[in-house]
Chains A and B, each alone.
Chain A
């Protein structure tokens, strides 16, 4: 059984438990009359509570796929379903943490985190308490009144994480969220993310090109192949958590992913 056959088998077997189902997705970019195929008959499924990493060389369409799931882009063909519902536009059941700074610069950290709750007719006290809770969860208790421009890159991504977690999305979409951070901050954020999401069984589709990052956080890693525009490889990361970056098996997983990317 090849790994791509296995990918399909997992999808079919796990159908009942899958929260995100993508099938037969096609997408092409038209640029100056040039049409380039990015996604070609791509299918994948993410189970409830699962943390799936999508890796691939830059330009392979990982971000495009994420944007389609988020509802920012409409695919040329195929469909995405979340919990059985067809995805057609953005919604708070699918929140994104972007790579670039997407906080509102005219709002304080506290207001940014509470932004997604403004539509709810909650009493002020309840709203404040909820925002305070998430402020503490991401370790920014003292920075509530700060403006985003005064924060470091890592702190900004903490705010970005808090403002989407507070909406309790069905699936969290992360588009190389720690790609712009230095190594130290990146590891801290990976740990924070795992600490926050494991206990709440948060489903995550995480795009990265960092092999180590994928092995540290993922339950399952998928390779998106730029040539065929589909998922070509799949690996279950069977390592115990918390994962030891110096472990031999950890290195073996990384080596395998590196191998994928080289082919």
Chain B
């Protein structure tokens, strides 16, 4: 067996084992179907949810619409967090004054669990897109900010000295030295932020919005459709993973500092 095939086999080991355990538990009757439907049943439900024509079943054919709604919310909230978190983190990492200025504010806000913002967000923004986007942005901001800050602090002083002696101004140095040098940390922050975005998306959508993957899960719970809940969970796992790969791919495509240091 080649090294590639072997690696693939190893990486598939755990998912396959989980699937097998699921089969045994549900098909063997160890766990009743309303708690854990069989893989076959979930597959059928998923197939109908994704490819079915509208009206075939309660959730048939809703996937495309739910995906679009959820993706839009995640991307909006995540982008907001990135646009605020990266510059602020880099500033705080390089300028002691900025760091002192925001340390307590950011540290205090971070100590508040993201879920605490839900009631406030519902009062401020009502039920809908804005509440979800707010929650996602709030949650994704901190890892993005913190990693950008750490990245900026860890830039070797010798690189700034080298830049200064080679005639690079401070302003140019931000793009020529600070950003590329902090890139590995910035990427880590963005990936963590992206992961958290999906978590808070579901939280935001649990509040009664009509569409979205989180809304489907919550809706299915009330109707006792455990299979659809599982379909939703699996889909979010897959889409979350794809988003992470796409994020890394896009960064590598756009920045040579990401390409060469990852």
Contact = CB atoms under 8 A, between A and B. Distances in A.
Given A98-B158, A100-B158, A118-B176, A106 B257 contact: yes
Contacts of B159: 102, 104
A115 B166 contact: yes
B164 A90 contact: yes
Nearest to B162: A102
Nearest to B157: A72
Contact of B183 (A70, A89, A106): A106
Interface string A56-100: 000000000000001110000000000000000111101110101
Nearest to B177: A104
A91 B183 contact: no
A118 B168 contact: yes
Contact of B167 (A91, A96, A104): A91
B180 interface: yes
B158 A147 contact: no
A116 B164 CA distance: 10
Interface in B212-233: none
A164 B256 CA distance: 23
Interface in B168-207: 168-169, 172, 176-177, 180-181, 183
Interface string B90-126: 0000000000000000000000000000000000000
A102 B158 contact: yes
B11 interface: no
A167 B180 CA distance: 23
Interface in B26-84: none
Q: How large is the interface on B (under 10, 10 to 19, 20 to 34, 35 or more residues)?
A: 20 to 34
Q: How large is the interface on A (under 10, 10 to 19, 20 to 34, 35 or more residues)?
A: 20 to 34
Interface string B147-168: 0000000001011011111111
Given A102-B162, A104-B159, A106-B183, A92 B177 contact: no
Contact of A95 (B165, B172, B256): B165
A90 B161 contact: yes
Contact of A96 (B161, B169, B261): B161
Contacts of B6: none
Given A115-B166, A119-B167, A72 B161 contact: yes
Contact of A163 (B158, B166, B257): B166
B165 A106 contact: no
A70 B160 CA distance: 13
A89 B164 CA distance: 9
Contacts of A116: 166-168
Contacts, number: 65
A238 interface: no
Nearest to A119: B167
Contact of B166 (A71, A95, A100, A105): A95
A70 B157 CA distance: 14
A93 B164 CA distance: 11
Interface string B244-262: 0000000000001100110
A119 B177 contact: no
A49 B164 CA distance: 24
B256 to A, nearest CB: 7
Nearest to B167: A92
Contact of B165 (A94, A100, A104, A105): A94
A111 to B, nearest CB: 9
A104 B166 CA distance: 12
A147 B163 CA distance: 18
A105 B161 CA distance: 15
B165 A70 contact: yes
A147 B261 CA distance: 10
B165 A91 contact: yes
A262 B78 CA distance: 64
Please indicate which of the listed interface residues A70, A96, A106 has the most CB atoms of chain B within 10 Å of its own CB.
A106
A167 B183 contact: no
Nearest to B255: A106
A105 B176 contact: no
Nearest to B259: A106
Nearest to A147: B260
Interface of B: 156, 158-159, 161-169, 172, 176-177, 180-181, 183, 256-257, 260-261
21 contacts: A70-B165, A71-B164, A90-B161, A91-B164, A92-B167, A95-B165, A96-B165, A102-B158, A102-B159, A104-B162, A105-B260, A106-B181, A106-B261, A115-B176, A116-B167, A116-B168, A118-B172, A119-B168, A119-B172, A147-B260, A167-B166
Given A90-B161, A106-B257, 5 more contacts: A72-B161, A90-B164, A119-B168, A167-B166, A167-B167
